[in-house]
């Protein structure tokens, strides 16, 4: 597969090797003709080569103006993964090649109006609203390549998260509000008996406190203290990380995953383009998107009394 | 083994592995044709053009089919470039042979085919956008052989047409006025027919052996006779020249114009670039009267204004500027008033050697003609009525006067006897005349516009001297009818054979271009008529609803849709199906909703409604 590894500059029109040969014929042909040849006929042949060269140059330059493409992509991606970009090629232009840029991908052939998928390597973290394609037309005679860079706005911006680093997290208590925990955990966590109460339909059988039940004539159950909430506030400050920005982001994401995997609550404090953000993250997807949007800037402030991990400070 | 391309193996270059058979055949065929053309045009010496073509084709075929480890794209383009370079550098691309010039067109089409096909094949190494879809969802058009052929035809047509327009524009700007050509091959018994050799005399008792060999090609704006030599002394059998002296033309190419050559001072200028296609020529052929010449050999002139040169070989060319006085019948008749110089009369108007009966005949022919011009016309007309043209005419017997034998005995002859007779009869009437030999204009090459002159187009005509005008050419052969057909081919058939390649190319290109245009036009007509038919159906249903409404005294208001009207009708008539009809009409006319009800079903509903008898209170009065 051809990749932009030859050092070719995207978007620049160029003569193909065959075109270069035709130029050589056009430039040198008149002087190399046989002395016995009829000059008038040699000029006809020369004129044919010249016209073929002109047609070979003009046709792609005109045809490339008729290329119309539209693209859409999934919302989420991870650095290093191949993202399938859906490309819809319309327009009257019959044959051309396209490839995604940033980074330059492999050329894909388009033979008329069609729709398909093009793989694109997500190599950079961030939120991308535009995608650039390079279009190349050299048909029909392959003497000249007309190229054009098309920048398309994606219907939904792509949020590319870093690849998380593997992080171990020591659980720490966090002052999470009870109501939130009750919604999240139920009331059957914890081991400390706080009191007894009458049985309610649905209480687990193992919580029945038989001694109290025997003394009273009603079924009573133990009421346990809710478990101590665990969580972590993670502050990601990219201002001073320099080249280690992405490593820092990857660590932050890894840490978030670790907390979520342990059942803890996570507050991510980052800087986004709109300003500092400090908000709860409830899922890996959410974490991906938050880290994807993180930019260099003053991050949000961690909530009070939360265990805080500061990355970049 | 790949079933698509014959002979493809695991060692074959990757771009051969996914090649469609038609692509392989088309590309190989195009390269073979281009190489064959190069071989045809480059063949020299012992190798005939057809042998050259076969060699080129064979080499290309072996390379394309045998060298499977090489990229077929690179190989085809390399072979095309090599063939082109050979053709340009070594090929004798000449317009002299009409077939050669048309063969160049074949090369153009073959070269473009190679470029287009190799380009399409080169693109196949990239995956297609369609490959990411299921076959059922792939919607793009695959490039078919017909599409490719049409592309090739369209580009070839553009290239050929523009190059034919550009070529003649560039020729006067870029073409050199002279070229050295090959070394001259001195005339021998074998190549005498391909030599243009100056001679001091012409023997009218020998039959010329002429063939289709091209001897000259002339780049000129108009057709004219290409004069070579003149003769002024007749002994009854042989024409010769009274003054054989030749003087050198100066290095500036200016011809020393004699006073008798009044035409050389005329206003009508003609520039001719003559290319020698024969193996040898030392005669400079040009329209009278040459006033300057650009040539890369020494050239001399005679007192009669004709030019001779050092031997010129095949491919040599020279440029001659000629002048003449514009002529008309009126001007020729009015030229009577001037005087003829004594030198002219002495050299060209003294009665030539002739028999008594020719001498007696001469004044009777011109009786009644008051001017020199009319006298010449009378002689031409007389010969046209009495003699016939034939290359197989009997030769004059030994010691017989050729003119006498021609006019009275054979009454058949070719241009030499006919022109000689005009000169002799003119001189018998004291009209200055001389014999001229050269070539007729020839055929015009359709590609370059050059005049192609063949050996068989050698000709003899007469020049008559007129006061104030100088030497004026007369071709009495034009007035003499043919004794019989000289060619087994009709002129039309001969033209078709000469232009066969061009006709085939134009036919193929037209078919490839006209075909899709016709299909597109037909589709457009069908689409329009289909749309019109559909609209007719909806309009017809609507009209019936309106008619039902009128019949039931429930006319449709101007602002009412078919749906609303049909709802009113449905309530009044008591048939809810009418609502369906109105809704279907509106949906069809104004929305993209597909039809759920067949038109025939709707028409059946209306037919039933139309049969319902109207209660008296509802009927339209």
- Compute the nearest-CA separation of A66 from chain B (Å): 16
Q: Is residue A183 part of a domain?
A: no
What is the ipTM metric for this complex?
0.70
DSSP for B389-454 reads: E-TTPPPPPTT--HHHIIIIII-EE-HHHHHHHHHHHHHHTT--EEEEEEE---EEPTTT-PEEEE
Of A118, A115, A107, residue with least CA distance to A90: A115
- Find the mean pLDDT for residues B487-505: 63
Q: Is the pTM of this model over 0.90?
A: no
Q: Is residue A8 part of a domain?
A: yes
Does residue A133 share a domain with residue A244? Answer: no
Q: Is residue A171 part of a domain?
A: no
Identify the weakest region by mean pLDDT among A171-185, A190-204, B392-406, B595-609: A171-185
Taking CA atoms, A2 is separated from A44, A107, B18, B131, B132, in Å, by: 38, 6, 17, 17, 18
Indicate the pairing of strand A265-272 with strand A231-236. Answer: parallel
- Compute the nearest-CA separation of A173 from chain B (Å): 50
Q: So where are chain B's domains? A: 14-125+144-174, 192-498, 503-611
Pick the CATH number of B192-498 from 3.30.930.10, 3.10.620.30, 3.30.420.60, 1.10.10.10: 3.10.620.30
State the pLDDT at residue B244: 86
Does residue A239 share a domain with residue A194? Answer: no
Does residue A205 share a domain with residue A274? Answer: no
Q: Which of B84, B128, B166 sits opposite A25 (nearest CB)?
A: B84
Does residue A139 share a domain with residue A47? Answer: yes
- Position with higher pLDDT, A166 vs B174: A166
Distant-in-sequence, close-in-space partners of A282: CB < 8 Å, separation ≥ 6: A260, A266
Does residue A154 share a domain with residue A57? Answer: yes
pLDDT at B404 over 60: yes
Does residue A145 share a domain with residue A16? Answer: yes
Residues of B in contact with A140 (CB under 8 A): 115-116, 119-120, 151, 155
State the pLDDT at residue B419: 94
**A102-126 per-position pLDDT tens digit:** 888 888 888 878 888 888 888 889 9
What SS3 class is residue B385?
helix
Confidence of residue B613 (pLDDT cuts 50, 70, 90): confident
Confidence of residue A2 (pLDDT cuts 50, 70, 90): very low
Of B540, B551, B531, B530, residue with least CA distance to B599: B540
State the pLDDT at residue A270: 92
**B57-107 per-position pLDDT tens digit:** 999 999 999 998 889 999 999 999 888 888 777 766 554 555 566 777 888
Does residue A112 share a domain with residue A206? Answer: no
- Find the mean pLDDT for residues B587-616: 79
Does residue A305 share a domain with residue A254? Answer: yes
Confidence of residue A203 (pLDDT cuts 50, 70, 90): confident
Q: Do A109 and B126 touch (CB under 8 A)?
A: yes
- Find the mean pLDDT for residues A36-53: 72
Query: B319: which strand partners?
Result: B273, B294
Does residue A16 share a domain with residue A113? Answer: yes
Does residue A245 share a domain with residue A105? Answer: no
**B20-59 per-position pLDDT tens digit:** 888 889 999 999 999 998 888 877 656 677 888 898 999 9
Q: Which residue of B has its CA nearest to A144?
A: B119
Does residue A198 share a domain with residue A268? Answer: no
Q: Do A21 and B179 touch (CB under 8 A)?
A: no
Q: Which residue of B has its CA nearest to A43?
A: B167
Q: How many domains does chain A have?
A: 3
Distance CA B52, CA B81 (A): 17
Q: Is residue A259 part of a domain?
A: yes
- Find the mean pLDDT for residues B562-577: 90
- Count of other CB atoms within 10 angstroms of residue B287: 26
**B167-198 per-position pLDDT tens digit:** 666 666 665 666 777 777 777 766 666 678 88
Cα A143–Cα A149–Cα A152 angle in degrees, nearest 5: 145
Q: Is residue A204 part of a domain?
A: yes
What is the domain extent for residue A194? 188-224
CA atoms within 13 A on the CB side of B529: 5
Does A117 lie at the interface with B, CB-CB under 8 angstroms? yes
Task: Give the CA dihedral B14, B17, B21, B22, nearest 10 degrees.
Answer: -30
Does residue A106 share a domain with residue A72? Answer: yes
């Amino acid at each position: 597969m051809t990749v932009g590894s030859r050092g070719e500059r995207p978007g620049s029109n160029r003569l193909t090797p065959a075109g270069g040969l035709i130029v050589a014929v056009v430039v040198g042909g008149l002087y190399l003709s046989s002395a016995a040849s009829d000059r008038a006929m040699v000029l006809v042949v020369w004129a044919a080569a010249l016209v073929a060269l002109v047609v070979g140059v003009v046709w792609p330059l005109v045809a490339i103006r008729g290329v119309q493409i539209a693209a859409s992509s999934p919302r989420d991606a991870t650095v290093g993964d191949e993202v399938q970009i859906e490309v819809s090629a319309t327009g009257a232009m019959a044959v051309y090649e396209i490839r995604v840029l940033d980074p330059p991908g492999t050329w894909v052939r388009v033979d008329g109006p069609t729709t398909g998928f093009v793989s694109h390597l997500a190599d950079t973290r961030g939120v991308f609203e535009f995608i650039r394609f390079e279009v190349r037309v050299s048909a029909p005679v392959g003497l000249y390549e007309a190229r054009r860079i098309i920048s398309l706005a994606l219907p939904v911006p792509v949020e590319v998260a870093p690849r998380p680093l593997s992080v171990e997290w020591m659980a720490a208590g966090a002052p999470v509000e009870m109501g939130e925990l009750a919604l999240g955990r139920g009331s059957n966590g914890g081991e400390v008996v706080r009191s007894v109460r009458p049985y309610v339909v649905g209480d687990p059988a193992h919580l029945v406190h038989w001694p109290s039940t025997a003394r009273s004539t009603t079924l009573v159950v133990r009421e346990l203290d809710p478990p101590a909430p665990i969580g972590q506030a993670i502050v990601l400050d990219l201002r001073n990380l320099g080249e280690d920005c992405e490593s820092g982001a990857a660590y932050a994401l890894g840490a978030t995953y670790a907390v979520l995997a342990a059942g803890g609550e996570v507050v991510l404090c980052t800087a986004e383009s709109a300003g500092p953000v400090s908000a709860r993250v409830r899922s890996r997807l959410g974490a991906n998107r938050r880290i994807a949007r993180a930019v260099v800037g003053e991050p949000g402030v961690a909530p009070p009394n939360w265990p805080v991990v500061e990355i970049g400070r | 083994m790949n079933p698509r391309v014959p002979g493809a193996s695991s060692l074959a270059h990757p771009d051969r592995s996914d090649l469609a058979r038609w692509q392989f055949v088309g590309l190989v065929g195009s390269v073979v044709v281009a190489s064959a053309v190069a071989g045809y045009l480059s063949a020299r010496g012992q190798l005939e053009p057809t042998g050259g073509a076969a060699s080129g084709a064979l080499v290309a075929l072996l390379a394309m089919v045998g060298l499977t480890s090489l990229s077929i794209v690179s190989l085809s383009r390399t072979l095309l470039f090599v063939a082109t370079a050979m053709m340009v550098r070594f090929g004798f691309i000449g317009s002299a042979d009409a077939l050669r010039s048309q063969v160049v067109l074949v090369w153009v089409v073959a070269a473009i085919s190679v470029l287009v096909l190799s380009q399409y094949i080169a693109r196949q190494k990239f995956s297609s956008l369609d490959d990411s879809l299921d076959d059922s969802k792939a919607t793009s058009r695959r490039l078919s052989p017909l599409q490719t052929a049409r592309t090739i035809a369209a580009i070839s047509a553009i290239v050929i047409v523009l190059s034919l327009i550009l070529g003649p524009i560039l020729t006067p700007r870029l073409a050199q006025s002279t070229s050295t050509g090959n070394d001259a091959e001195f005339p021998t018994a074998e190549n005498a027919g391909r030599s243009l050799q100056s001679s001091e005399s012409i023997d009218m008792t020998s039959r010329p052996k002429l063939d289709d060999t091209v001897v000259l090609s002339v780049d000129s704006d108009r057709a004219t006779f290409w004069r070579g030599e003149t003769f002024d002394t007749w002994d009854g059998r042989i024409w010769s020249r009274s003054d054989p002296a030749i003087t050198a033309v100066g290095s500036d190419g200016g011809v020393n114009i004699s006073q008798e050559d009044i035409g050389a001072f005329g206003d009508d200028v003609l520039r001719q670039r003559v290319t020698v296609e024969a193996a040898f020529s030392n005669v400079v052929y040009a329209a009278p009267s040459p006033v300057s010449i650009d040539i890369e050999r020494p050239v001399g002139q005679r007192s009669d204004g004709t030019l001779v040169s050092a031997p010129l070989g095949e491919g040599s060319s020279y440029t001659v500027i000629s002048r003449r006085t514009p002529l008309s019948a009126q001007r020729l008749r009015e030229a009577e008033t001037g005087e003829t110089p004594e030198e002219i009369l002495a050299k060209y108007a003294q009665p030539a050697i002739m028999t008594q009966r020719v001498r007696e005949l001469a004044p009777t022919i011109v009786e009644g003609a008051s001017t020199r011009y009319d006298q010449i016309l009378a002689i031409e007309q007389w010969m046209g009525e009495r003699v016939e043209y034939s290359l197989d005419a009997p030769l004059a017997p030994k010691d017989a006067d050729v003119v006498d034998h021609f006019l009275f005995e054979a009454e058949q002859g070719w241009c030499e006897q006919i022109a000689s007779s005009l000169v002799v009869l003119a001189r018998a009437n004291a009209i200055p005349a001389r014999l001229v030999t050269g070539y007729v204009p020839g055929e015009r090459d359709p590609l370059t516009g050059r005049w192609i002159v063949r050996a068989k187009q050698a000709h003899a005509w007469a020049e008559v001297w007129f006061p104030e005008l100088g030497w004026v050419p007369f071709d009495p052969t034009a007035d003499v009818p043919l004794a019989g057909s000289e060619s087994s081919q009709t002129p039309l058939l001969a033209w078709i054979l000469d232009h066969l390649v061009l006709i085939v190319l134009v036919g193929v290109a037209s078919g490839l271009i006209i075909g899709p245009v016709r299909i597109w036009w037909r589709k457009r007509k069908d689409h329009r008529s289909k749309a019109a038919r559909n609209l007719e159906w909806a309009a017809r249903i609507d009209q019936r609803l309106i008619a039902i409404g009128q019949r039931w005294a429930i006319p449709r208001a101007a602002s009412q849709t078919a749906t609303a009207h049909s709802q009113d009708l449905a309530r009044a008539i008591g048939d809810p199906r009418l609502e369906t009809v109105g809704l279907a009409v509106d949906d069809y006319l104004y929305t993209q909703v597909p039809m759920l009800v067949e038109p025939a079903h709707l028409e059946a509903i209306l037919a039933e409604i139309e049969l319902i008898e109207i209660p008296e209170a509802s009927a339209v009065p």
